[in-house]
Chain A
Amino acid sequence: SAVISQKPSRDICQRGTSLTIQCQVDSQVTMMFWYRQQPGQSLTLIATANQGSEATYESGFVIDKFPISRPNLTFSTLTVSNMSPEDSSIYLCSVKFSTEAFFGQGTRLTVV
């Protein structure tokens, strides 16, 4: 199993600013995943982050808007840049061990 800690748990931000979300895992993992969950909606994959290489982004998500860092095998950050109210969502990081995926508690972001 894995314990995933995300910071911050929630934040209210002004439009046009940026927020960096941190994700710390208690075990070393090759891949970390970042998801967005809009209110009452499903989880949409933003990107896959591998240590030592550029993140791979899904259609509709770009690096300039959602830059990701992956400095080591237990840590990753996701930045939401130049925020607008449409970015208000829950952002979750996730890892997989074998077939099971584990999730952090999420960061609830509100952009005003």
Chain B
Amino acid sequence: QQQVKQSPQSLIVQKGGISIINCAYENTAFDYFPWYQQFPGKGPALLIAIRPDVSEKKEGRFTISFNKSAKQFSLHIMDSQPGDSATYFCAADQAGTALIFGKGTTLSVSS
């Protein structure tokens, strides 16, 4: 099932710094690429998402960069805060099917 590769596995960032998480996919049929945030004891929640016809999407401090030719996309968290400490999953979606998730990145933002 592992069609989405995510790195790094863990990330430690200073408060105010930039967190960057990268993902790569194989299946060109994927047409939607969301990022999910998961706090301990909770289910994943949608953070931000992008379609392959757009190269960048920004929502507040969160930005997705998308490179269709390289089949890669990344999440940038600007001005990282301790409250951003969570596990982040990239995913890929194809209409009518279940999401395929990356392995996750555990982010710790130190104050």
Contact = CB atoms under 8 A, between A and B. Distances in A.
Interface of A: 4, 31, 33, 40-45, 48, 58-59, 92, 94, 96, 99-106
Interface in B41-63: 41-46, 49
B42 A105 contact: yes
Q: How large is the interface on B (under 10, 10 to 19, 20 to 34, 35 or more residues)?
A: 20 to 34
Nearest to B91: A101
Contacts, number: 59
A40 B46 CA distance: 19
A99 B43 CA distance: 17
Interface in B87-108: 89, 91, 93, 95-104, 106
A57 B67 CA distance: 32
B98 A94 contact: yes
Interface of B: 1, 32, 34, 36, 41-46, 49, 89, 91, 93, 95-104, 106
A17 to B, nearest CB: 24
B103 A42 contact: yes
Given A58-B1, A92-B43, A101 B103 contact: no
Nearest to B9: A40
Contacts of A92: 43-44
